[in-house]
């Protein structure tokens, strides 16, 4: 009897943690980080990581730009926030003029 109960518990746990494609699962989607940036000495945002990447590409954000995200007590330079620094490093430099 104990073995049967253990099997039922294992099956129930497996069923609860199974995701079916196309079915509304009860697991919440991960929250996307939101960032605020100082652009031209003015607070702008919130921005998603994708929007931050676009601003880096357009040179509106550099590694010296001030960035804040929930959880930080103060504004930091972009180079002090690992996930933003990664985006800055991945952005190609401006092409040299011929």
Q: What is the CATH number of the domain that holds 68?
A: 3.30.1490
d(CA 51, CA 36): 11
Please give the structure tokens belonging to residue 90.
Answer: 């991945």
23 within some domain: no
Q: What's the mean per-residue pLDDT of the chain?
A: 82
Residue 67 contacts residue 34 (beta carbons within 8 Å): no
Domains contained in the chain, number? 1
4 within some domain: no
Q: What is the pLDDT of residue 74?
A: 97
Q: What is the pLDDT of residue 88?
A: 86
Q: What is the pTM of this model?
A: 0.62
**All residues at 6 or more sequence positions from 62 whose CB lies less than 8 Å from its CB, including other chains:** 56, 78, 88
Exposed e or buried b for every residue in 17-50, given b needs 16+ CB within 10 A? Answer: eeeeeeeeeeeeeeeebebbbbeeeeeebebeee
Secondary structure tally for the chain: helices H, strands E: 3, 4
48 within some domain: yes
Q: What is the pLDDT of residue 54?
A: 93
pLDDT per position as a tens digit, 63-97? 899 999 999 999 999 999 999 999 888 888 778 88
């Amino acid at each position: 009897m104990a073995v049967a109960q253990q099997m039922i518990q294992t099956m129930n746990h497996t069923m609860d943690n199974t995701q079916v494609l196309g079915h509304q699962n009860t697991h919440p989607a991960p929250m996307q980080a939101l960032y605020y940036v100082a652009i031209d000495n003015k607070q702008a945002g919130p921005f998603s990581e994708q929007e931050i990447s676009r601003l880096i590409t357009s040179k509106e954000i550099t590694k010296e730009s001030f960035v804040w995200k929930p959880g930080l007590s103060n504004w930091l330079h972009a180079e002090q926030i690992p996930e933003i620094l990664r985006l800055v490093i991945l952005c190609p430099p401006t092409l040299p003029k011929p």
